[in-house]
């Protein structure tokens, strides 16, 4: 059922695995992915179960546990090595949940404008099914998606916003998208705030200084609560730095991975 962008070559370093945000797809990484691969990193971009372009003709559950188990099976079958796991926005909650439950699979974390303090889907979990489907229909509407783009990015042109809106809602055209969205909505969603102090992996936090969706003050809070983290902020940037500032994000990830590899090499017994 999985859809992903697979690396062209394998590297000796840990693979880099990229998630996406809420109700999005691996196409979020269309600008940054080539830069990471050109830098020599073995890079995967994976669609989270229920979103993106996964084949869900036989739709099962799309709750948190199902998303975690689905990705674990993909990792176990194809990636097979401890990875640097990258999660933007709600993808950060997916990454934290996975790292705590499967620490053997995650070597490092990169969290980008992380949505890790939301209490799941909140009151949406109690909606009657008919109201939940109406909400899902609104969620994929072009005007709402365009408005979200204006909130998410700093100073983008109208033509660019139209382009990003069209790409961002492509996966919503699948016939099973509404069922998967409603299933996740009524399941309660991600609530990982109590798991943060259980994260043992070294973590890079990246934050757009002008994020109007999640305040960078929460980035500072996350930095304080994670046991082993560094934080880097990107000026003149909104909620999705990997779309808006791909060169900056690729550089920060590459420096983080290289620094970790150098420190690991210092401890290799001779």
Q: What is the pLDDT of residues 63-91, one digit of tens each?
A: 999 999 999 999 999 999 999 999 999 99
Using 50, 70 and 90 to split pLDDT, how confident is the model at 131? very high
In this structure, what token pair is assigned to residue 234? Answer: 């990107």
Question: pLDDT for 143-193, tens place per residue?
Answer: 999 999 999 998 888 999 999 999 999 999 999 999 999 999 999 999 999
The whole-number pLDDT of residue 12 equals 78
Which CATH number fits the domain 4-266, given the four candidates 3.90.740.10, 1.10.3720.10, 3.40.50.1820, 3.30.420.40? 3.40.50.1820
Catalytic positions? 89, 211, 239
- Indicate the average pLDDT of the chain: 92
Segment 222-234, tens digit of pLDDT: 999 999 999 999 9
Q: In terms of pLDDT, which residue wins out, 267 or 185?
A: 185
Taking the complete model, does pTM exceed 0.85, yes or no? Answer: yes
């Amino acid at each position: 059922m999985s859809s992903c962008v697979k690396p062209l070559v394998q590297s000796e370093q840990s693979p880099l695995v990229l998630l996406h945000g809420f109700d999005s797809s691996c196409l979020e990484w269309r600008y940054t992915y080539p830069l990471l691969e050109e830098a020599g990193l073995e890079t995967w971009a994976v669609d989270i179960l229920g979103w993106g372009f996964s084949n869900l003709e036989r739709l099962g559950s799309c709750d948190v546990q199902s998303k975690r188990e689905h990705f674990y099976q993909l990792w176990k079958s194809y990636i097979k090595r401890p990875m640097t796991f990258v999660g933007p926005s709600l993808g950060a909650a997916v990454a934290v949940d996975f790292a705590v439950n499967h620490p053997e699979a995650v070597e490092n974390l990169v969290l980008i404008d992380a949505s890790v303090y939301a209490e799941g889907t909140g009151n949406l979990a109690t909606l009657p099914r008919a109201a939940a489907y109406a909400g899902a229909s609104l969620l994929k509407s072009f005007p709402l998606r365009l408005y979200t783009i204006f909130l998410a990015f700093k100073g983008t042109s109208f033509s660019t916003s139209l382009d990003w809106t069209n790409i961002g809602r492509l996966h919503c055209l699948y016939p099973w998208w509404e069922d998967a969205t409603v299933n996740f909505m009524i399941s309660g969603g991600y609530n990982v705030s109590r798991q943060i102090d259980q994260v043992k992996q070294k973590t890079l936090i990246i934050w757009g200084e002008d994020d109007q969706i999640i305040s960078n003050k929460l980035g500072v809070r996350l930095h304080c609560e994670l046991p082993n983290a560094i934080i880097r902020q990107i000026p003149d940037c909104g909620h999705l730095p990997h779309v808006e500032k791909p060169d900056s994000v690729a550089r920060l990830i590459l420096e983080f991975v290289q620094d970790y590899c150098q420190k690991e090499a210092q401890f290799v017994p001779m």
